[in-house]
A and B are shown apart, each in its own frame.
Chain A
Amino acid sequence: MTKQLKSFILMSPDDNCATALEDVSKDSQVQIMDISITINHDIPLGHKIALADIKKGELVKKYGQAIGVATENITKGDWIHTHNLSSQYIQEVLKND
């Protein structure tokens, strides 16, 4: 297996999250485009980090598209997953439960 050339990928310049291309340890320093980021959690391959602070209620964008709404304030470098991001579609259904 060749060595991983970069740790994260940004799918679109509009995005406020990036996807890990390898397992990345907490406290790693990474450069994504022109942004320097300290990683706040261990990030497994395929998982996302915040490229900037995202306020509760704001949209998280990947591929240049909204992939859901922040359910709490997210700090730059945080892991973004089901604990702080929710769908605008399937979540609506949950409210009926």
Chain B
Amino acid sequence: MGYQRPKGEVGIRNKIAIISSVVCVNHVVQQIANQVENAVPITHPLGCGQFGPDYKNTLNTLIGLGKNPNVFGVIVVGLGCENITSSLVAKNIKKSKKPVEFFDLQDIKGGSPAAIEKGVKLGKKLSKEAEEMKREPFDFSRIVLGLECGASDSISGISANPALGIVSDRIVNYGGISILPEFTEWIGTEHLLIKRAIDENVAEQIKDLLSGFIENLKGLGINFLGVQPTPGNIQGGLTTIEEKSLGTIAKAGKSPIQGLIQYTEKPKGKGLWLMVEPSLDVESMTGLAGVGANVIIMTTGRGSPCGNPVVPVIKLCGNPKTYEWMAENIDVDMSPIIMGDKSVEDLAEVLWVKLKSTLNGQETQAEKLGFNDVAIWRNTASPFQYMHCK
């Protein structure tokens, strides 16, 4: 059950997104969102003085978040002197035919209090319009599922991740879309991924991406040990990137891989897609939301509280100690798998029931607790990198 959007996509939430085009108005955006029913703040530290791929990533991610089918309407707030302008973001979101408002703080007499007042007024109007929409029945072919794992331990890879893989395959079989981000966690599994590529071209893309990344590390002399796996992964029993990656890709089940998409690029068809994203949870989930995921399922072994402002994040945990410690942040306890009394298949069924209730409107723990995390991937080589005092 969801909300039909003007361009045919289906939302499972009906949010009013209040978006900062630039860091300087984050407080204004937060205050507006606090005072409007069903509104979420989309704030970030970027938007000013950006260039190259960073500029494109920030602009296209903000546009993508506004266009996300879980969003009914949008207010974009700018300051007035930044290069990622509120009007540019708003103009592009409007292509989705949903209601979009925008303004810059510097254009409003009375400074930030007046800007907040204006935003709240616009927001309340949108919120009222949103309340008039009713949920309609839809099938699973309309689902765009984001596959995420964070704060992993070696229990995730043998419990929650393969159970999520079963659910991902099921969405794909129903004609939906599933997206696996976090490419640095595919290192060591390319021989398995390329076997699942739908054609030679996709296989070559996977190989080139991963070998290119290893070459970059070598060329720059970067020591990636301790970055992948992370210190927390290592404490949780994951020794090498290969071991972590084998667990990571289990989330993507056994479906064929249709292709690779860039960080701000929508999947070009149905089925399972891989997203080029560097494996940081919040950047990854922001990217998934930016390309149109309407639900994200995240596995965690050591415990992560993260969420997303526009996409519900269902959290799974296979580690019984972590679940006991952080149950408030977890939606499904997957530990019966390792306790030996339930199979991966049994828990995939439990997850399927939770997914259905979430699609129908039941709030996830991250939604209930108000996690509206946004981080946008920065991948421009910086001209500032060698600048320092002598």
A: residues with CB less than 8 A from B are 1-6, 9, 11, 19-21, 44-48, 62-63, 65-68, 80-82, 85-94, 96-97
Contact = CB atoms under 8 A, between A and B. Distances in A.
Contacts of B246: 62-63, 65, 67
Nearest to A43: B237
Given A46-B238, A67-B240, 6 more contacts: A67-B239, A68-B242, A87-B240, A88-B240, A89-B214, A93-B214
A6 B338 CA distance: 8
B256 interface: no
B241 interface: yes
Given A21-B340, A96-B218, A89 B239 contact: no
B192 A94 contact: no
Interface in B258-309: 301
B324 interface: yes
Contact of A48 (B217, B218, B237, B321): B237
29 contacts: A1-B320, A2-B339, A4-B339, A11-B158, A20-B237, A45-B321, A46-B153, A46-B237, A46-B319, A47-B154, A62-B246, A65-B192, A65-B242, A66-B242, A67-B243, A67-B246, A82-B234, A86-B240, A88-B240, A89-B188, A89-B240, A89-B241, A92-B218, A93-B223, A93-B224, A93-B225, A94-B225, A96-B221, A97-B223
Nearest to A44: B237
B228 interface: yes
Interface residues of B, number: 39
B80 interface: no
Contacts of A96: 218, 221
Nearest to B340: A5
B187 A82 contact: no
A56 B249 CA distance: 28
Most buried by A among B155, B187, B239: B239
Contacts of A81: 234, 237, 239
A18 to B, nearest CB: 11
A92 to B, nearest CB: 7
B242 A67 contact: yes
Interface in B151-182: 153-155, 157-158
B387 interface: no
A61 to B, nearest CB: 10
A46 B153 CA distance: 7
